[in-house]
Amino acid sequence: MSKKTRHKSIRRRRLTPKVVPGSYPEHVRFDPNAAKSVVTYAAYDETKFIEGRVETAAELEAMVGKWTVLWVNVEGLGSAEIVKEMQRIFSIHPLAMEDIVTVHQRSKYETYDENFFLIGHMLEDRGHELVTEQVALYVGKGFVLTFQEGPIDCTTPVLERLEKGQGRLRKLGADYLAYSIIDSLIDCYYPILEDFGERLEILEDEILDHPDRRTMQQVHLIKRELLSLRRTLFPLREAMNQILRAAPDSFSADTMLHLRDCYDHVVQITDFIETYRELAADLMDVYLSSISFRLNEVMKVLTVITTICAPPTLIAGIYGMNFKSEASRFNMPELNWVYGYPFALSLMVVTSLVMFFVINRNGGIGGASFGGAFKSESSSGQSNGQASTQSNAQANTQTNSQVGGSGN
């Protein structure tokens, strides 16, 4: 939320919430490995704005109700006492607190009395991996609470707008601030989608020029990351749809109109993800087609070599049968001929040349194929591969332009 020290990131290895079997409902279990909690606040009305770091619970309690909107952000969920104090001060429902502390939840929307509760996820591309962290949003009368799992922060643009007094944030209530935070979370997905589009374009060129196993591994990695992104976005899409259908009483009609725009963005992002997944699958098909075509070319060369060498091998095998010419006048009489050895070598050379010219005449050497059947098969494979890659390039370019326009 504010300018703060970034904690060391720990890569996720557990994909499901860790729940103790037999634990009672509303059970809150804090992760001992979670980052220590840092609490910051931003309080404002139409004319004033303050922000800072919360040192004591009494300091935070003193600000409740004195400002039009109070935004409190908790980064890190490892300090049980701090999180429990937040629950006491703002009367957070125990079920909501359980979902806040137990990370790796699906995106969801709930209402507790008149309070609004939403779980989402923030993403950050760290080059070698795509890191996902949970964020919980709890909105009540005059206050907004955000609980962040770690250092990834997509809400910085909202805080900067508050500091500079840009837009309508200071003039409106907590519901509009909640919308602004949700919109900022969704906007963080667009740069990641642009990066996926650029990576797919680069891999497409590599597959067409010099396909190798490393390229195949990169395509497979992108498919896995897109699947992870899809698992994150589809529950958020359902949650946003539930918000629009429920129309919370604490949210004004103007805010609900803006939330519909957020829902449209989520739908658009999920469509982009599906498009990129299809492109990645098509690239894998093009890669396999390229490898198959190269293998066919190698087999063609080996077949030509084998065919040319077959007659000399046959001749050498015949004259290597070691029949004794003394036993019969029909047992290879040319073995005793003075020109027998040159005759055998010449016969090998002549038959090889004849086979060479016959194969070359049929298009097996220097042509596009070996024989009519192979010619039609390979030319069909090439045209299909080129058509597939051209369609992929057009779809990828169109999607990238749409993502760039939506992100702006």
The 10 Å Cβ neighbour count of residue 282 is 19
Residue 323 sits at the vertex; the CA angle it makes with 317 and 328, to the nearest 5 degrees, is: 140
Q: What is the pLDDT of residue 120?
A: 92
pLDDT value at 378 more than 60: no
Q: What is the pLDDT of residue 24?
A: 53
pLDDT value at 329 more than 80: no
Tell which wins on pLDDT, 364 or 353.
353
Q: Which of 232, 233, 229 is nearest to 280 (CA)?
A: 229
Residue written as token pair 């200071």: 170
Q: How confident is the model at residue 20 (pLDDT cuts 50, 70, 90)?
A: low
What's the pLDDT tens digit per position in 93-109?
989 998 898 888 889 99
Strands 115-125 and 108-112: antiparallel
Q: What is the pLDDT of residue 221?
A: 86
3-state SS, residue 135: strand
pLDDT average, residue stretch 306-317: 87
Tell which wins on pLDDT, 116 or 129.
116
> Of 163-167, 335-339, 387-391, which gets the smallest average pLDDT?
387-391
Q: How confident is the model at residue 19 (pLDDT cuts 50, 70, 90)?
A: low
What's the pLDDT tens digit per position in 295-306?
888 888 888 888
Q: Do residues 146 and 70 touch, judged by C-beta distance below 8 A?
A: no
> Of 11-15, 45-49, 158-162, 174-178, which gets the smallest average pLDDT?
11-15
Mean pLDDT of the chain: 80
Q: What is the pLDDT of residue 356?
A: 85
Question: What sign does the CA torsion over 27, 33, 34, 35 have?
Answer: positive
Q: What is the pLDDT of residue 18?
A: 54
Tell which wins on pLDDT, 6 or 2.
2
pLDDT value at 6 more than 80: no
pLDDT value at 400 more than 70: no
Tell which wins on pLDDT, 367 or 274.
274
DSSP for 233-274? HHHHHHHHHHHHHH--TTS-HHHHHHHHHHHHHHHHHHHHHH
Cα–Cα separations (whole angstroms), residue 52 to 38, 59, 79: 11, 11, 19
Cα 127 from chain centre = 12
Q: What are the boundaries of each domain within the chain?
A: 1-7+16-170, 295-407
Residues 6+ apart with CB under 8 A from 173: 68, 69, 142, 252
Looking at the chain, the whole-number percentage of residues with pLDDT higher than 90 is 22
Q: How confident is the model at residue 21 (pLDDT cuts 50, 70, 90)?
A: low
For the domain made up of 1-7+16-170, give the CATH fold. Answer: Beta Polymerase; domain 2 (3.30.460)
> Of 64-73, 300-309, 322-331, 362-371, which gets the smallest average pLDDT?
362-371
Q: What is the pLDDT of residue 404?
A: 52
User: Which run of H or of E encompasses 286?
Assistant: helix 253-318
pLDDT value at 242 more than 50: yes
Q: What is the pLDDT of residue 368?
A: 41
pLDDT average, residue stretch 347-352: 88
